[in-house]
Amino acid sequence: MSKLLIVGTVAFDAIETPFGKTDKILGGAATYIGLAASNFNIPSAIVSVVGNDFPEAYLKMLEDRNIDISAIEIVPDGKTFFWSGKYHNDMNSRDTLETQLNVLENFNPVVPEGYKDAEVVMLGNLHPLVQLSVLEQMTEKPKLVVLDTMNFWMDVALEDLKKVIAKVDVITINDEEARQLSGEYSLVKAARVIAEMGPKYVVIKKGEHGALLFHEDQAFFAPALPLEEVFDPTGAGDTFAGGFSGYIARTEDVSFENMKNAIVHGSNLASFCVEKFGTERMEGLAKEEVQKRLQRFKELTQFEIELS
């Protein structure tokens, strides 16, 4: 069983959706990735940073899900990364209201000794130089490096981002960001341009419209599960990435065929994430409900058709 190394923000979020508004709650890319990946019972560790304003109970919750938190640095007198966002009636689009980098501004990540040979590295959303530093600390070449990022880093650190993109195997990115990064509107063309930057596999996330996987001249599509109610899409992209990388670490198979399954696992877990505000739904997720929904996924996408 492979080890999974995760890097990304561990954060406070304030979220507004048509269904309500939260004060500062637990968020962060690595938080969602870790919670999603914990469903695969693989050894995993998060590399991140928080301030001393960060409640111990949140760290304990991650630990209770068997995530190694020893490389989440706590900066005395530091303030935790803060993000606030607002969703409109169409919950596929959101506005970032505020991003306070705080302790992330001077963060030097340290990969724990036991994870320098991790087979799968999930570079979650945060400064591309931090992502790069984590890769440079690996003593063994990972079987698979997956990168997730967002428009914020394209706006403020594009050249650094391109450096890290050149070193990864898989990039997961949402549709708008794929367009921004590539300068192409067509997602097929965008995927081709992004693949030329380095990653052999390009995953484009389309929110409630599913996810696409591109590799050379092959493509695969998985829908998102149609849900009656979506309360809060925050973290869905990270949950998807955590499901994807967790499943690959669990199966130790980096073939295109297996990545299709990883996409379905990612989409399946993301469908839970959006059902409640913040991380609430992911914190208490039980194996049985994950399996049950996977079955629904299968039924949703399988059909017998006769080709004449």
Closer CB to ligand AMP, residue 92 or residue 99? 99
Output the smallest distance, CB 184 to ligand AMP, in A.
21
Nearest CB to ligand AMP, comparing residues 45 and 241: 241
> With respect to ligand AMP, which residue has the nearer C-beta, 64 or 155?
155
Given the rule CB under 6 A, which residues bind ligand AMP? 9, 11, 13, 27-29, 83, 99, 125-126, 150, 152, 234-238
The least CB distance from residue 25 to ligand AMP, in Å, is 9
Q: Which is nearer to ligand AMP, 24 or 189 (CB)?
A: 24
**How far apart are CB 104 and ligand AMP at their closest, in Å?**
8
- Give the residue with the Cβ less far from ligand AMP, 13 or 169: 13
Closest CA to 31 of 289, 305, 283: 283
Report, in Å, the least distance between residue 237 CB and ligand AMP.
3
Residue 244 CB, shortest distance to ligand AMP, in Å, is 12
